[in-house]
Chains A and B, each alone.
Chain A
Amino acid sequence: MTEQLQPSETVATGAKLTVEEDAAGVAAGRRLMNLFLATGLALVFVLMLVGLLMRLSQAEWLPLDPAWFYSLMTLHGAGMIAALVLCGMGGVWYLVRREAHMDVRLGYAAYGLLLGGVLLVLAATVVGKFAAGWTTLYPLPFVNPTWPFWSTGAFFIGLMLITAGFSVWSFQVLEAVMRAFGGLRGALGFDLVFNAKAFKASGRQPPPAQILPAAVIAIDGLIMATASMLLGAAMLVRWLDPSVGIDPLWAKNLGYFFGHLLANYIIYMLLAFVYVGLPRFTNRKWKTNAPFVIGWWGTMVFLLTAYAHHLYLDFAQPVAMQVLGHVASYLSAIPVAVVTVYGAILLVWRSGMRWTLGSLFMYVGLAGWILGGVGALLDATVQFNTLLHNTLWVPGHFHSYLLGGSLYFALGWVFQSLEERTTATTSRSVKWLVGVTVFGGTALFVAAFYVAGAAGVPRRFALAQDPSASLAGVGSVGAVVLIAGLVLCLVEGLRLWRSGRTAPVRAAVAPLLAGVTNVGEVQGD
Chain B
Amino acid sequence: MDLQGRVLLTLFVVSAAVVAIFVLIAVRSRGPALSQEAVQGPGYAVRRWWFFLLVAVLTLAFGASLPFYPYSRAQAEGDTVEFTVIAQQFSFSNLPQEVPLNTPVVFNVTSSDVTHGFAIYDPADRLVGQVQAMPEYDNQLRVTFTERGRYTVRCLEYCGLAHHLMEGGFEVR
By a beta-carbon cutoff of 8 Å, the part of chain A in contact with chain B is: 66-67, 70, 131, 133, 137-140, 143-144, 146, 247-249, 252, 282-285, 291, 313-316, 319, 322, 326-327, 330-331, 333-334, 337-338, 342, 345-353, 355, 363-364, 366-367, 370-371, 374-375, 378, 381-384, 386-391, 450-451, 454-456, 458-463
6 contacting pairs across A/B (C-beta < 8 A): A249-B136, A252-B134, A285-B36, A337-B54, A387-B127, A390-B130
Question: Which of B29, B32, B114, B128 is close to A140, meaning CB atoms less than 8 Å apart?
Answer: B114
Question: For residue B121, which residues in chain A have a CB less than 8 angstroms away from its CB?
Answer: 456
- Chain B positions 86-130 with a Cβ under 8 Å from a chain A Cβ: 89, 113-115, 117, 119, 121, 125-130
Q: Which of A282, A283, A349, A382 contacts B68 (CB 8 A)?
A: A382
- Could you say which residues of chain B place their CB within 8 Å of the CB of A391? 127, 156
Find A338's partner among B39, B40, B54, B65 (CB 8 Å cutoff). B54
Smallest beta-carbon distance A376→chain B, Å? 10
The contact of B130 among A284, A313, A327, by CB within 8 Å, is A313
Q: In the complex, how many angstroms separate the beta carbon of A525 from the nearest chain B beta carbon?
A: 12
Other than the known A350-B34, A461-B164, what 8 A-B pairs have Cβ atoms closer than 8 Å? Answer: A143-B114, A315-B139, A349-B34, A386-B130, A454-B7, A454-B8, A455-B4, A460-B163
The answer to whether B68 and A249 touch across the interface, beta carbons within 8 angstroms, is no
A382 contacts B69, C-beta separation under 8 Å: yes
Cα–Cα, bound, A371→B160 (Å): 32
What is the predominant secondary structure among interface residues of chain A facing chain B?
helix
Given contacts A330-B61, A389-B156, contact A322 B25 (CB under 8 A): no
Closest to B51 in A: A338
* A248 in complex: contacting residue of B3, B135, B160, B165, CB < 8 Å: B135
Residue picked from B22, B58, B70, B128, most chain A C-beta under 10 Å: B22
Q: Which residues of B contact A350 (CB under 8 A)?
A: 28-29, 31-34, 39
Closest chain B residue to A337, Cβ basis: B54
Q: Which of B68, B89, B117, B134 has the most CB of A within 10 A?
A: B134
- With A284-B36, A314-B132, A386-B129 known as contacts, the answer to whether A348 contacts B7 (CB < 8 A) is no
- Would you call A363 and B26 a contact (CB within 8 A)? yes
Most A CB within 10 A of own CB, among B7, B65, B137: B7
Q: What separation, in Å, do the CA atoms of A138 and B160 have in the docked complex?
A: 12
**Which of B19, B36, B135, B164 has a CB less than 8 Å from the CB of A462?**
B164
Q: Is B61 a contact of A342 with CB atoms below 8 Å?
A: no
CB distance from A163 to the nearest CB of B (A): 22
Alpha-carbon separation in the docked complex, A353 to B31 (Å): 9
* Closest Cβ–Cβ distance, residue B76 to chain A (whole Å): 13
Q: Do A454 and B164 touch (CB < 8 A)?
A: no
Query: How far does the Cβ of A379 sit from chain B's closest Cβ, in whole Å?
Result: 9
